[in-house]
């Protein structure tokens, strides 16, 4: 029996990098207002603090509503990080677009409520088979394939189990007759007579990794509260809670596609701290810890045809076609940034601000039947923990800074991967956010 075929967490990792986690912070905390109610409305006389130096700990003033409409575009031409942190061309190309709606409301000047509804509009993924051989998932599947084929050869007395059979397969050995091999899903494939076994096994592995266009539609909806408990002229700190609800598509998504959600409910705690360096610069640090509550469900896909759910009752590895999974441990993510008002360079730039940012995300693994290792068991998302680090730059335009104030703000961010581990896709991300305000 061989357990060939599954790619690693490529499509799931891409989703985390693109929109679901990329927008999730919008709902409760990202770059909130610094000013009080009297500073927000265009009808007031006091000039507001520059938006570019608004603190991370800020909350919306009482009875102020903010609507945010994000647009996220992520592209990858193959960049990936192996389990040891080496950057490789992993052969996965991607073009993903997402939007959504985030609404926030100031319950009091110190307490805000928000929710986010993300929506994936485009989810295209491609595969370069040659470069995919650089991926961690390929090596794991290859190891399983060689062990299974080697067991057949050793049983026939053709080689010594282990490295001896590996060497025989690598030498170009071909079975003299058509040989049937049972995969982990219960499917059977045939290694043709006269065709080198390593070529036949390689073909099965790559076929299992070929993607189709991913799912589109609503992702995981977030709900959150943010409370600013400390604030003075120099420092501020706020704490928040966020609930990630599993409303996105996950359970019925085949191996060939990327889901729009993470498949399980998660509860998060968020810390937002800022330090005012001077009138023009402010540094901030936001950190979130997410913990999965309960288990999710996932259905098994075929390996020979990964666009179909598996319907074979007798599987070969102890995993059924319908399994529960969990995300063990804590997911840690956040960023450190420094923001500035461009008005310090020219009064004509009063409405503009800029920032630099370093972000990080240490994701959880997915565990099926107590196992966290990448497996060729026909399940999507089973893999070791992954991490990604990015540097970013941003520019914003603030309508509140105009002589005739308008309650609109526009933000653009560019985030580029610089470091990672066990990340099958490391895309570059462009984010545009339109913010609208209303005072009740």
What does the pLDDT look like over 357-404, one tens digit per residue? 999 999 998 888 877 766 555 676 566 789 999 999 999 998 888 888
Please tell me the least confidently modeled range out of 133-137, 328-332, 345-349, 388-392: 133-137
CA 399 from centre of chain: 32
Q: Is the pLDDT of residue 261 over 60?
A: yes
Please tell me the least confidently modeled range out of 38-42, 100-104, 233-237: 38-42
Tokens found for residue 59: 């909350």
| pLDDT tier, 334 (very low <50, low <70, confident <90, very high otherwise) | very high
Task: Select the more confidently predicted residue: 139 or 265.
Answer: 265
Stated pTM of the model: 0.85
Report the pLDDT value the prediction gives residue 380, as an integer from 0 to 100: 61
Quick: pLDDT tens for 289-306.
999 999 999 898 888 888
Report the pLDDT value the prediction gives residue 8, as an integer from 0 to 100: 34
Task: Select the more confidently predicted residue: 159 or 44.
Answer: 159
Partner residues linked to 398 by β-bridges: 409
Q: Read out DSSP for 47-80? A: PPPPGGG--TT--PPTTEEEEEEEEEEEEESSEE
| pLDDT tier, 146 (very low <50, low <70, confident <90, very high otherwise) | confident
DSSP-assigned letter for residue 370: T
Report the pLDDT value the prediction gives residue 50, as an integer from 0 to 100: 53
Report the pLDDT value the prediction gives residue 378, as an integer from 0 to 100: 63
Architecture of domain 10-140+206-439: Beta Barrel (2.40)
Report the pLDDT value the prediction gives residue 376, as an integer from 0 to 100: 54
| pLDDT tier, 13 (very low <50, low <70, confident <90, very high otherwise) | very low
Q: Is the pLDDT of residue 283 over 50?
A: yes
Report the pLDDT value the prediction gives residue 374, as an integer from 0 to 100: 60
- Angstrom distances, CA of residue 119 to CA of 12, 261, 425: 15, 10, 20
| pLDDT tier, 36 (very low <50, low <70, confident <90, very high otherwise) | very low
pLDDT average, residue stretch 332-357: 92
Q: Is the pLDDT of residue 316 over 90?
A: no
Quick: pLDDT tens for 409-440.
999 999 999 999 988 899 999 999 999 999 99
Report the pLDDT value the prediction gives residue 237, as an integer from 0 to 100: 96
DSSP three-state, residue 319: coil
| pLDDT tier, 15 (very low <50, low <70, confident <90, very high otherwise) | very low
Rounded distance, CA 384 to CA 242, Å? 25
Please tell me the least confidently modeled range out of 70-84, 144-158, 339-353: 144-158
| pLDDT tier, 142 (very low <50, low <70, confident <90, very high otherwise) | confident
Query: What rounded mean pLDDT belongs to the chain?
Result: 83
Q: Please answer whether residues 438 and 40 qualify as being in contact, where contact means their C-beta atoms are separated by less than 8 angstroms.
A: no
pLDDT average, residue stretch 80-103: 92
Report the pLDDT value the prediction gives residue 19, as an integer from 0 to 100: 36
Burial zone of 311 (CB within 10 Å; 0-12 exposed, 13-18 middle, 19+ buried) = exposed
Report the pLDDT value the prediction gives residue 43, as an integer from 0 to 100: 33
| pLDDT tier, 39 (very low <50, low <70, confident <90, very high otherwise) | very low
Report the pLDDT value the prediction gives residue 120, as an integer from 0 to 100: 96
Q: Please answer whether residues 153 and 196 qualify as being in contact, where contact means their C-beta atoms are separated by less than 8 angstroms.
A: no
């Amino acid at each position: 029996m061989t357990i060939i075929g599954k790619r690693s967490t490529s499509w799931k990792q891409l989703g985390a990098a693109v929109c679901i986690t990329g927008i999730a912070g919008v709902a409760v905390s990202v770059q909130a207002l610094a000013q009080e109610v009297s500073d927000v409305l265009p009808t007031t006389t006091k000039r507001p603090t520059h938006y570019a130096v608004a603190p991370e700990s800020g909350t919306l003033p009482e009875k102020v509503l903010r609507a945010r409409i994000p647009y996220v575009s992520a592209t990858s031409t193959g960049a990936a990080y192996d389990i040891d942190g080496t950057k490789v061309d992993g052969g996965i190309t991607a073009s993903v677009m997402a939007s959504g709606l985030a609404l926030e409301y100031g319950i009091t000047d110190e307490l805000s409520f928000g929710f986010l509804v993300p929506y994936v509009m485009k989810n295209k993924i491609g595969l370069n088979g040659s470069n995919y051989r650089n991926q961690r998932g390929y090596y794991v599947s290859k190891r399983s394939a060689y062990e299974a084929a080697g067991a057949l050869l050793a049983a026939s007395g053709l080689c010594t189990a282990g490295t001896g059979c590996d060497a025989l397969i690598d030498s170009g050995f071909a079975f003299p007759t058509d040989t049937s091999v049972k995969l982990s899903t219960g499917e059977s494939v045939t290694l043709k007579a006269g065709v080198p076994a390593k070529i036949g096994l390689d073909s099965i592995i790559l076929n299992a990794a070929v993607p189709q266009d991913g799912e589109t539609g609503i992702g995981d909806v977030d709900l959150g509260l943010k409370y600013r408990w400390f604030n003075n002229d120099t420092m501020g700190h706020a704490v928040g809670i966020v609930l990630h609800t599993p409303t996105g598509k996950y359970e019925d998504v085949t191996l060939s596609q990327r889901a729009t959600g993470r498949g399980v409910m998660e509860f998060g705690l968020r810390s937002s701290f800022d330090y005012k360096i001077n009138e023009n610069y402010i540094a901030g640090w936001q950190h979130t810890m997410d913990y999965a509550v309960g288990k999710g469900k996932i259905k098994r896909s075929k390996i020979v045809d990964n666009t179909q759910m598996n319907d074979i009752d007798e599987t070969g590895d102890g995993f059924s076609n319908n399994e529960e999974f969990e995300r063990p441990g804590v997911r840690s993510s956040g960023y450190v940034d420094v923001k500035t008002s461009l008005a310090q360079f020219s009064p004509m730039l009063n409405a503009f601000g800029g920032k630099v940012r370093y972000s990080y995300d240490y994701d959880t693994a997915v565990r099926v039947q107590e196992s966290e290792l990448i497996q060729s068991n026909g399940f999507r998302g089973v893999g070791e923990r992954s991490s990604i680090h990015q540097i970013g730059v941003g520019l914003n335009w603030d309508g509140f800074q105009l002589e005739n104030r308008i309650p609109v703000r526009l933000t653009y961010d560019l985030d580029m991967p610089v470091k990672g581990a066990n990340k099958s896709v490391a895309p570059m991300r462009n984010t545009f956010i339109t913010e609208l305000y209303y005072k009740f």
